[in-house]
Structure 1
Amino acid sequence: MAGGSRVLYVVACGGYPAAELPDFVTHARGVGWDVCAVVTPAATGFVDVERLAELTGHPVRAEYKRPGEPDVLPPADAFVVAPATFNTVNKLVAGISDTLALGLLNEALGAGLPIVVAPYPNSALAGHPAYAASLAALREWGVRLVFGAPGDPRGGADQAGRENTIFPWPELRDIVRTL
């Protein structure tokens, strides 16, 4: 995108919705964002890194740069975390920065940048007490949480027979229009 565009970092964690990032990136660019993709190491197995780099015009980052290396991405104005795993949600609240994605999100929290998080734990992890406390902390800190709806477009339920969740891409598309 041309200079002067606002920069959106789309952070993906390891989960099947990460494979659907190209459509979301295309939408965000279409509503005026310069989009950069940052993925957790676990997400690299779910995303097409080359395709995301082609769509964004920026390299996809998964690892910290070495000291002295130049930044290859412009500074972010806002963040969308889609999908956000149980691990990332809890580590973010604890202030852990052991991945580039978490480091950037922790800096964004400290800087007061807008952050939208679309949590995507399995149903057993969603019931964990630490997860509920982490969601409450994120809300208190001004992070916008966007949840999916019951059901799974892949057809069904987890191994225990519990329904999975439809990822909230439509809601996230609406949010980036006005973010």
Structure 2
Amino acid sequence: MTTPTLYLFCAAAPPIHYVAEAIENAQARGWTVCLGLTPTAATWMEDHLAGLEALTGHRVRSTYRMPEDTISWPAPDVICFAPITTNSLNAWALGLTPSWPVGVVVEAVGKGTPVVAMPCMNQALAAHPQVDRSVAVLREMGVAVLYGEGGWVPNPPGQGRPAEYPWHLAVDAADRFVPQL
């Protein structure tokens, strides 16, 4: 039996500073984890990329590969985009591909790859009507969006709680797609 592969994609939101804990949690559950970051998230984590690569055993990716580059990651069994920002969430729901991770999940839905998304946004951003539309579109496409009760609940602006981001809920949702875990 092979170890299932989880692509963990992260956008630039404060919980990203705790991504190593999420990776370790997934690995303890039996996942091989490949970490992908939006370009801004990669900038935020620049000083930690070598450690994250050592932890996962795979190169951290944040950009589209060149045609001559070989694919270095195993195929995903599940993709989890957490934290996903308002920008990435809305782009994905609209079918836009402004960054490599968003492009991958847009394509993943078409391929039938299971995808989990857990936003991280404050109440002011969440109040924009496009957010609810985007969540509804993604759910209609079969994406497990962990938003609201049982997932991410937006906090008031300026009162973030990145250490409390419920990474375990995203990994729990990914686990449900792979019966042997």
User: Per the shorter chain, which TM-score range?
Assistant: 0.7 to 0.9
- Cα drift, residue 74 of structure 1: 1.3
**What is the rounded CA distance, in whole Å, between the counterparts of 2:106 and 2:175 in structure 1?**
24
- Cα drift, residue 122 of structure 1: 2.1
Report 1 or 2 for greater relative contact order, CA contacts < 8 Å, sequence distance ≥ 6: 2
Q: 2:169 aligns with which of 165, 168, 171?
A: 171
- Write the deviation string for residues 61-115 of structure 1: whole angstroms up to 9, x where unpaired: 0011111211111111111111000000000011112211011111111111111
Note closer, same or farther for the CA distance 1:55–1:150 as it changes in structure 2 (3 Å cut).
same
**What is the rounded CA distance, in whole Å, between the counterparts of 2:142 and 2:174 in structure 1?**
16
Q: How many residues align?
A: 169
Q: Which runs of 5+ in 1 are unaligned?
A: 152-156
- Cα drift, residue 148 of structure 1: 2.3
**What is the rounded CA distance, in whole Å, between the counterparts of 2:111 and 2:171 in structure 1?**
24
The SS at the match of 2:7 is: strand
Matched, 1:67 2:38: no
Note closer, same or farther for the CA distance 1:98–1:150 as it changes in structure 2 (3 Å cut).
closer
**What is the rounded CA distance, in whole Å, between the counterparts of 1:164 and 1:21 in structure 2?**
16
- Cα drift, residue 4 of structure 1: 2.0
TM-score by length of 2: 0.86
Residue 158 of structure 1: aligned partner: 157
Q: For 1:119, give the aligned amino acid.
A: P
The SS at the match of 1:21 is: helix
* 1:1-179 correspondence to structure 2 within 5 Å: 4-47=2-45, 48-146=48-146, 147-149=151-153, 158-159=157-158, 163-164=159-160, 166-179=164-177
Q: Is the 8 A contact 1:15 1:46 kept in 2?
A: no
**What is the rounded CA distance, in whole Å, between the counterparts of 2:132 and 2:110 in structure 1?**
22
- Cα drift, residue 40 of structure 1: 0.1
Q: Is the 8 A contact 2:10 2:38 kept in 1?
A: yes
Q: Which moved more, 1:8-17 or 1:40-49?
A: 40-49
Q: Which runs of 5+ in 2 are unaligned?
A: none
The SS at the match of 2:83 is: strand
**What is the rounded CA distance, in whole Å, between the counterparts of 1:141 and 1:58 in structure 2?**
29
Note closer, same or farther for the CA distance 1:174–1:118 as it changes in structure 2 (3 Å cut).
same
**What is the rounded CA distance, in whole Å, between the counterparts of 1:115 and 1:150 in structure 2?**
21
